[in-house]
Amino acid sequence: MYTSSEENYLKAILKLSRKGDSPVTTGALAAEMQTTAPSVTDMLRRLAEKQLATYEKYYGVQLTEEGVRIATALVRRHRLWEVFLTEKLGFLWDEVHDMAEQLEHVQHPELIERLDAFLGHPRFDPHGDPIPDAQGRWPERQRQPLSNVEVGGQAVVVGVDDHSTAFLQYLDRLGIGLGVHIAVLERVEYDHSLCVRLVEQGRDLTLSDKAARSLFVELL
Amino acid sequence: MYTSSEENYLKAILKLSRKGDSPVTTGALAAEMQTTAPSVTDMLRRLAEKQLATYEKYYGVQLTEEGVRIATALVRRHRLWEVFLTEKLGFLWDEVHDMAEQLEHVQHPELIERLDAFLGHPRFDPHGDPIPDAQGRWPERQRQPLSNVEVGGQAVVVGVDDHSTAFLQYLDRLGIGLGVHIAVLERVEYDHSLCVRLVEQGRDLTLSDKAARSLFVELL
DNA sequence: TTTATTTTTTAGAAACAACTAAAAATAGAT
DNA sequence: ATCTATTTTTAGTTGTTTCTAAAAAATAAA
């Protein structure tokens, strides 16, 4: 129906507009897609032509209802494949993105619903990101950065804001992953770094402010 | 590394040359790929350029060692995905081809070996076709068309020569699938049709010569 | 062996997706 | 308000992959 390239743009536009930047600018899209502004302009024209987005020159782009529908389905596919790769094939959370990026473009009316059932209808992916359901509805969860938690507070890791390999592998080395129980022991005023205890492992460690802001938790 | 289109041509050339038609002609490839002769000529030049095939004008094309390696890996991926789709997601043997056709192009150094292990290292796909191993070796099995079996002989279905939806669904309706035990009761001289008994189901039926020649069996 | 038929290749064009360089429009600063 | 700097678009190319129509080569037939 649509090319992989078109689908990738739709997904990027959805991502940026859900982050709050609406309408999405050519420059922001070029950065997100790691390409040049002229390439973006070309594609926006094609997407508008196909009624997947409304595009106003020198202003920006917004997805149409159909555009949102397609982009949401892509996010659903991407995240379900990520669950498959980690849960069934044993890949780590920092290894699955590129594969899912390819798998999400496989077209078939029933495939993804079968996969969803096979995986037990997961609501969140290996990074804690929500998986839209078949109707495009997003599961909600009240999460916040670990950096917001008061000293003395306790929380469970439910997601990451930074999906980079470097950060994810750093967390692995620290023993931090989804579901890990954290108690905040102390906040250093000087650089806002946090001393925390990993409750199950009984281990204490210090997290930089940058790291603490990139970790999402649910309060206990 | 290579485009999906290039990969599809490599696979088609391997298929035709394994069938015995070597070198593979432009026309045969055009028919196999459902495209035109000029498109094939263009692609053969590109494949030769990239050292994946040796191409001689007005003569035909043959895969190089590297071409065979890539094409064999593609067949491996295609068939392993077909096993996944039937065994894990519950698709029927006539539904999986198009999905596997897309999934086989997903590039990742470890993915397919993980999938292979997850599936228990299957040696044959849902149609009974052999799955090359990671080194490109093909499992062998002494199979023959059901039409060759003597009256009074017994055999087990291990494959099909015709992968069309129409034939596969026809077999489903008859209760014939891989592993089904068949006893040949009678051969009608007039049109070479076969009267057979499905041993487990205790049911008798008549197969046309065309159908019997498209069913591969292993003698008991 | 010459002619006719079929097959294959070349030539030219279109759609897609990307780029660089240059022009135009917007936004910001004095 | 004008000038400057940034952002965005336009114009022109390149590389893929496909196609149709025409030319060339190989094969088959008389």
pLDDT (tens digit per residue) in B141-182: 999 999 999 999 999 999 999 999 999 999 999 999 999 999
Using an 8 Å Cβ cutoff, are B122 and B197 in contact? no
Q: Long-range CB contacts (< 8 A, 24+ apart) of A85-88?
A: A85/A126, A85/B111, A86/A126, A87/A119, A87/A122, A88/A119, A88/B118
| B118 touching chain A per CB within 8 A | yes
Using an 8 Å Cβ cutoff, are A76 and A132 in contact? yes
Confidence class for position B72, pLDDT limits 50, 70, 90: very high
**Predicted pLDDT at A1:** 86
CA distances from B31 to A81, A83, B34, B55 (A): 35, 40, 5, 18
Using an 8 Å Cβ cutoff, are A78 and A63 in contact? no
- Taking only the tens place, the pLDDT of each residue in A70-100 is 999 999 999 999 999 999 999 999 999 999 9
What residues of A are in contact with residue B98 (Cβ under 8 Å)? 108
What residues of B are in contact with residue A4 (Cβ under 8 Å)? none
Is-above-0.85 flag for pTM? yes
HSE, CB side, 13 Å, CA atoms: give it for residue A193. Answer: 7
Closest C-alpha to B153, from B185, B180, B175: B185
A36 touches strand C (CB under 7 A): yes
First-to-last CA distance in chain A? 46
Using an 8 Å Cβ cutoff, are B18 and B30 in contact? no
Average of per-residue pLDDT across B94-109: 96
Nucleotide nearest to A38 (CA to C1'): D9
Alpha helices in B20-64 (DSSP H): 26-33, 37-49
Confidence class for position A20, pLDDT limits 50, 70, 90: confident
First-to-last CA distance in chain B? 46
**Predicted pLDDT at B1:** 85
Average of per-residue pLDDT across A52-57: 94
